[in-house]
Amino acid sequence: MSKRRVVVTGIGVVSSIGIGKDAFWKNLIAGKSGISEVESFDTSKYENHRGGEVKDFDPLEYIESSNVKNVGRGSQFAIAAARMAIKDSGIDINGLNKSRIGVIIGTTMADAQRIEEMDKTWVESSEKDVDAKLIPQYPGSVMASNVAFNLGLEGPNISIPTACSAGNYSIGYSFDLLAEGKTEYMLAGGADPFSRIAFTGFNRLFAVAPEKCQPFDKNRKGMMVGEGAGVLVLESLESAKKRKADIYAEVLGYALSCDAHHMTAPSVDGIKIVMKNAMKHARISPDKVDYISAHGTGTPSNDKAECSAARQVFKEIYKDIPMSSIKSMLGHTMGAASAIEAMACCLAIKTSIVPPTINYETPDPECDINCVPNTARKKVVRVALNNSLAFGGNNACVVMKEYLPETRYG
């Protein structure tokens, strides 16, 4: 039995540069920075004080008031992004078999703020003083189940905790379920809230820049901790055509790899493997790639390794392919990162505009890629690669393509 083709028909996003597809894309291609002074908690004891926090988010716009307190900020983001994606897709979920609509949400630490709240009470007082309502919000699996509960969805429900690559993992797993006919619609994405845990951890690793994120710049000083959510509606091409849906892009394939090298430091070989295998799975040759959404954290080691891998995979044409990092604007949204970046790929394909890498000032000979410095670029994008490289060496690459009715692989 031939596998079904899979397409993206809906996009929902919560980010530091905008809530909703239109605001997000407008500010992304304008090169707007979402980095500001941290307001979630007191950072006076830290050396760094900036991050990519989401402002003006009202969960009551997406969640019933009686249920808002039962879900943490990360789950609130995920529910909001899911509702926006469904609305954008034009699907009427009330008229569908809910058991055929699945949810896969990737994350780094799930509802970390509620975990912090519970742990603080436990340590400073006793377990008897912990609010019982916090207990169900502690497990990392709550994000996907919270989305399903709030939307009444009864299909496959999975949380994927592969950190910075979790969004791509969720898209890949959803692709498989749809291609094999095991479900009809999938909500795939990722979410993470701004948290003390993440902020403290990355500062302790000396990986945080003091003012701004500068991917691929010679004087880059690190990443910026961010927050947000991105959810895509995936469905079979047959379903999308039947209901005359607007198609953003076709998911051609993906690949996963593990560096088995170091818990935090990236491996050039691991990145090469995942990009090569993704193109092989999608049956796309390197010369067909028009845009690469880089993992591009802005740390010296990550950017150097990713650029080296691209140089070896694409050889003499590597400088011809735009390869930008939107983390320069959003900060690193952890489990949401590659899901939001997948949306950027979809919109680049749809609009023929490639988002920039902002804050680029000084070229680095070790990162001599075409990083689309500071200003968005008009370019026809038919095939895009979305790279994500997580701690533990968990790499994922998704291949997306302009939907062409007459052929799968133009």
The pLDDT, as a whole number, for residue 118 is 67
Tell me which residue has tokens 């899911």.
Answer: 82
Across 67-81, 118-132, 363-377, 380-394, least confident range: 118-132
Name the percent of the chain lying above pLDDT 70: 94
* pLDDT, mean of residues 323-335: 97
- Whether pLDDT at 249 is above 90: yes
- Cβ distance 234 to 178 under 8 Å? yes
Predicted confidence at residue 288, as pLDDT, reads 98
388 neighbors 356 (Cβ within 8 angstroms): no
pLDDT confidence bin for 406, thresholds 50/70/90: low
Closest listed residue to residue 343, CA positions, set 246, 249, 264, 254: 249
What digits encode the pLDDT tens for the residues 257-276? 998 887 778 899 999 999 99
Whole-angstrom distance, CA of residue 170 vs CA of residue 336? 10
pLDDT (tens digit per residue) in 86-125: 999 999 999 899 999 999 999 988 877 667 776 777 677 7
- What pLDDT score does 405 carry? 79
* Lowest-confidence segment of 24-33, 66-75, 134-143 by average pLDDT: 134-143
Q: Give the model's confidence band at 393: pLDDT under 50 very low, under 70 low, under 90 confident, else very high.
A: confident
Q: Please name which of 369, 400, 408 lies closest in space to residue 382, comparing C-alpha atoms.
A: 400
Give me the pLDDT at residue 144, please: 95
| Residue-level pLDDT at 113 | 67
The pLDDT confidence band at residue 137, using thresholds 50, 70 and 90, is: low
User: What pLDDT is recorded for position 409?
Assistant: 43
> Residue 69: its pLDDT value, please?
85
What is the C-alpha separation between 410 and 288, in angstroms, rounded? 9
- What is the number of helices (H) and of strands (E) in the chain? 12, 15
For residue 1, pLDDT beyond 80: no
- Which residue has 């710049």 as its token pair? 217
CA 15 to chain centre: 11
Query: Which tokens is 88 given?
Result: 């954008």
φ/ψ (deg, to 5) at 343: -65, -40
Confidence category of residue 410, pLDDT binned at 50, 70, 90: very low
CA distance 39 to 227: 13
Active site members: 164, 295, 332
For every residue of 88-142, DSSP letters joined together read HHT--GGGS-GGGEEEEEE-SSSSHHHHHHHHHHHHHS-GGGS-GGGGGGSSTTH
Domains of the chain and CATH, by start: 6-242 (3.40.47.10), 252-401 (3.40.47.10)
Task: Indicate if the pLDDT at residue 408 is higher than 60.
Answer: no
Q: Is residue 134 very low, low, confident or very high in pLDDT (cuts 50, 70, 90)?
A: low
Q: Is 80 exceeded by the pLDDT of residue 330?
A: yes
